[in-house]
Structure 1
Amino acid sequence: MDDTVLQKCLDQVKSYNSELMSTTILCELEFQSRGAEHDEATARHCTGLSERISTMIDISIDANKRQTENGKKMAHYIADQTIKAAVTRLATQIRLQPQNPMVTFVLDILSESPEGNDRRKKLEARIKAKMSLAILDAGDEGSEFAEKVQAFEKEAGELALEFAIKDAKKMADEGLGMLAMI
């Protein structure tokens, strides 16, 4: 076995994580103590070490991939639930304002008519498309995860209101256009 191949393998292991570091150091020490001898036993031993290191690298890579995939799934789930809650809160807040019957009427059309569920899902999809999940990145050292979720909730609420106002205005303009035609 070529010394440079094993050394490259050892260097690669060092770059993965600290758990593998101790095994790598032990392998290096054994390799250096046997390094001058190039008999068959040393070659077998080095090959065995290389295979163990390779297996450990594969296990580490697989674990990191699973962790990343689970993190993404969790971020999407949190985003979906947060956006749904923001749209629901908006509807509740508007319903608590009975002094403005026009707003309540438009809200009913947007969310409680037979097409309301479809409109609500479209509104949620527009909000999610506009927002970035990067705010939920757990790797950011700047703030706690709970603070990030609160910031995400605030942004989702603002977008829900903005999009609902645009939709209501569009519906009102279309209604006025139809009245003008009569």
Structure 2
Amino acid sequence: IEAGRLELARDTVDVHGLLVSALNLVQGRAREKDLKLEFDCPPDIGWITGDEKRLKQVIFNLLSNAITYTPERGSVRLESRREGDELVLIVADTGIGIPQADRERIFKPFEKGGDPKGVQTGAGLGLSLVRNFIKLHGGAVDVKSPPGRGTTITCRLPARGPTGSDGADTPPIVGIEGGG
């Protein structure tokens, strides 16, 4: 990815279906910690042109981190909406938060946030992949995290994709028939 060698396998992806699929992958871990999983996405949100596998990995990584860093009986929320020319994906939790000094560092490869219980939690590639995959889709990632009050990570993807090699725009989000 860092060397710019990864190509996205772009296709039409049902946003609601993608998010439900990623949620299903983490439900067991959330149950083990007695976490409340919240989901807010209109079923008719539409489609996006993107790499379904990479986008699912983005959502899975964000949800996995939220579950890891949220204490028992907390909550994790996955939300998606359209804002103007963007698709907005949000993962918010009631976890331990991320100190201001760490907010940029955690997006670097092999870097991790503070460990909630001293348990080894992975290689530290998750958020690096999130940022890189979102950038490859022409988007951006933002973090809000008051220490001790949880974390909200927002991914914004353009409604008009990057110009393709043939010079034509690739529209990543397509409305649903009759949906406005």
TM-score w.r.t. structure 1 length? 0.23
Structure with more of its chain in strand, by fraction: 2
* Relative contact order, higher structure (CA 8 A, sep 6+): 2
The normalised TM-score by structure 2 is: 0.23
Quick check: which one's helix share is greater? 1
